[in-house]
Structure 1
């Protein structure tokens, strides 16, 4: 009996160690500016371990190796070879948006989970292919949006769920900055953003995706009945191939969402206004909400703590999902079904702007 108890204790301890082992993470691409979030994580976070980096641009690879003092053995110029040799459990994609489907094609048969930067894909066809691959090979594909980390958006979402705002009538989502070149993004990232084949569009995709993501989340996955978009080039000398200004209207049976994405604003902003038939709430920034829940009461300002772990860090979210500590709802901001709908909305918006007419989705 004592021997059996010892064996059980050893197995239990091994299971605990295994459960606490960091997730083996690989990176595909270094050209997307958000990749620095990974290398700048707090050193005390031990939930992931970097095992490989795929980057065919040798100059770019050397720049990152030098900047973050990375071992040259981490770097590969062939995606398949990197996956087979390093055997990651998960991969974060930081290349062009158009390459997301290529990455998932490589990872899915190998049972490697994937997290991509927003949006999920440049076309609805690619988004559907990604969804089909995840279902066939039983992997997770998450889409990371900065606004998913915001405590303010979660607070407003909870007000909606609790019925404190009533039924949603209008939502306005504003996302933008002075322009990618103006704020000094890297030459590799800029080359992606100004190339419609790689990015899908300009401000319409780069910033319009935030509003489509948040509104689909607030509406619990419901698609709009129609999409209307207007785009413009205020700076064609800088962005000759893509739009730098976009306005998108999503119409629902009883609600409307206006999404404003811009590369022309005087300073960066990411905020959301939600108006119901009982009250309103404005997510001013990541931790500030203005709200008025009754007609005869003054507006209140709520200062919030940042979201608790793992929600304040996309890599912690990814690790928690893979290890089973966290199960995403199908309409979570990171979830695949919701973000397939986001790409469908964005594609309709591009079509609307091109054809100068409203596109019906239902």
Structure 2
């Protein structure tokens, strides 16, 4: 397959514009953005006008015209889009979290295997040069045996449907835990053993989903980790947020900020502003996914199973908060 025909299954998620921009500006030599299906016609038409391609009101019609679907619908609505695409032998990039229930994630994974298509979970943080260097540093034994990890993924409340638990499946814990768990699984080559969580709903008064959370996680290799996954950055905070890891080993410590490639600008008119530069992890994610689709080979294969493993930890965190104690994996 020389060129890949790409379609979107709704433009609901805040990451959809970044993926469309990457296709249009960076990956146009290998992919064509054919069209966008969206049951919100105003949103879909606007996206098609902005990024190109046709606007589709019929998802089946879109599937007939593409090789690949990027599913950026609301979290709880991923499953029907993925299943329909798999049945029609279309490869799939699904936004994180892969789903809001284990059953839905397992159904997607089974469908992709049954129909022989790629199911790729959108975890772009794996493509951060800083994170990749961290992984290599640890694998080379530079800090000895890893003992503990302190991690953060803090940002602003995205608003809209993210605050509707029926569509999002949860708030900050669902939204941000999965990124950090995936990176740690990838680096540690281990699985989560148990989870404890403190979860709050108080950054924005009256909302229906959690906006702050602290998780403590024990891994099967004995590593302890903390995860701050809060939507704790207000509108005036000078940057969107962060993804940081501090890894403590027997022979040293390494700290990394995955989003540190930015210019810090201070002016009398605007105060502090920042401008990103350098590597775009969304472009790297899409490029790798498209290479897997085109050639069957790529750099990092982020499978549906990887998406499910990260989702399970977020769900265990909510269960731990409800029970008020640590929850062991596999506990009934």
With normalisation by structure 1, the TM-score equals 0.78
Q: 1:76 aligns with which of 43, 56, 62?
A: 56
Q: 2:248 aligns with which of 263, 275, 293?
A: 275
Offset of 1:325 from its aligned partner?
5.8
Q: 1:318 aligns with which of 249, 270, 289?
A: 289
Residue 293 (structure 1) aligns with? none
Structure 1, unmatched stretches of 5+, are 1-18, 181-189, 289-304
d(CA) in 1 for partners of 2:197, 2:105: 21
- Answer whether contact 1:147 1:286 (CA < 8 A) is retained: no
Distance 1:115 1:244, change over 3 A: same
CA displacement, residues 215-246 of structure 1 (integer Å, 9 cap, x when unaligned): 111221x22211111100113535x2100001
- Answer whether contact 1:287 1:306 (CA < 8 A) is retained: no
Q: Alignment length, in residue pairs?
A: 307
Q: RMSD between aligned alpha carbons?
A: 2.3
What's the secondary structure of 1:166's corresponding residue?
A: coil
Residue 316 (structure 2) aligns with? 348
What's the secondary structure of 1:226's corresponding residue?
A: strand
User: Does 1:36 find its partner at 2:22?
Assistant: no
d(CA) in 2 for partners of 1:49, 1:321: 16
User: Does 1:162 find its partner at 2:129?
Assistant: no
Q: How does 1:1-362 map to 2 (within 5 A)?
A: 19=1, 21-41=2-22, 43=25, 45=27, 46-68=29-51, 70=52, 74-84=54-64, 86=65, 88-180=66-158, 190-220=159-189, 222-237=190-205, 240-253=207-220, 254-265=222-233, 266=237, 267=239, 268-286=241-259, 312-324=283-295, 326-327=297-298, 332=301, 334-361=302-329
d(CA) in 2 for partners of 1:245, 1:311: 25
Distance 1:44 1:177, change over 3 A: closer
With normalisation by structure 2, the TM-score equals 0.85
Distance 1:283 1:312, change over 3 A: farther
- Answer whether contact 2:288 2:299 (CA < 8 A) is retained: no
Distance 1:213 1:258, change over 3 A: same
Distance 1:326 1:250, change over 3 A: same
- Answer whether contact 1:204 1:245 (CA < 8 A) is retained: yes
What's the secondary structure of 2:213's corresponding residue?
A: strand
d(CA) in 2 for partners of 1:204, 1:174: 11
Offset of 1:338 from its aligned partner?
2.0
Distance 1:52 1:360, change over 3 A: same
d(CA) in 1 for partners of 2:11, 2:306: 26
- Answer whether contact 1:203 1:244 (CA < 8 A) is retained: yes
Distance 1:35 1:311, change over 3 A: closer
What's the secondary structure of 2:229's corresponding residue?
A: strand
CA displacement, residues 40-67 of structure 1 (integer Å, 9 cap, x when unaligned): 2363531111122111111112322343
- Answer whether contact 2:171 2:209 (CA < 8 A) is retained: yes
Structure 2, unmatched stretches of 5+, are 262-276
- Answer whether contact 1:151 1:306 (CA < 8 A) is retained: no
What's the secondary structure of 2:248's corresponding residue?
A: strand
